[in-house]
Amino acid sequence: MSDAEAKPDQPANQASFVAAKGESLRVSVKDLSFWYGDYRALIDVNLPIPDHKVTALIGPSGCGKSTLLRCFNRMHDLYSGNRYEGEIRLFPENM
């Protein structure tokens, strides 16, 4: 079984998440972890979002979709005790 065909109970190999040849990335998330105080809500998230493509975040309640989106627009900066590690790049700039 290849990395791209990982079993549902196993995460896909993060190295398999790359833009197709010739595609540029609009947003790139690399090794992003996020904490609400002592609770680690996101763990080493890697997500390329290609330019000119529709992208959806789909998952069960509580899996981190809203937390990730709030990292994109820096809503977590408004509250004390929140902490990020990793990078989110919009075009070439680290947000």
- pLDDT digit string, tens, across residues 1-48: 444 444 444 444 443 445 566 678 889 999 999 999 999 999 999 999
Which contacts qualify for 63-67: CB closer than 8 Å, 24 or more apart?
67/34, 67/41, 67/42
Q: What is the largest CA-CA distance in the chain?
A: 44
Task: Tell whether 8 is covered by a domain.
Answer: no
Neighbours of 14 (CB within 10 A): 14
User: Residue 65 is part of which domain span?
Assistant: 24-94
Q: What is the DSSP string of 73-85?
A: TTGGGGSTTEEEE
Cβ–Cβ < 8 Å for 31, 71: no
Number of domains the chain is built from: 1
Task: Tell whether 19 is covered by a domain.
Answer: no
Task: Tell whether 1 is covered by a domain.
Answer: no
Task: Tell whether 35 is covered by a domain.
Answer: yes
0.75 exceeded by pTM: no
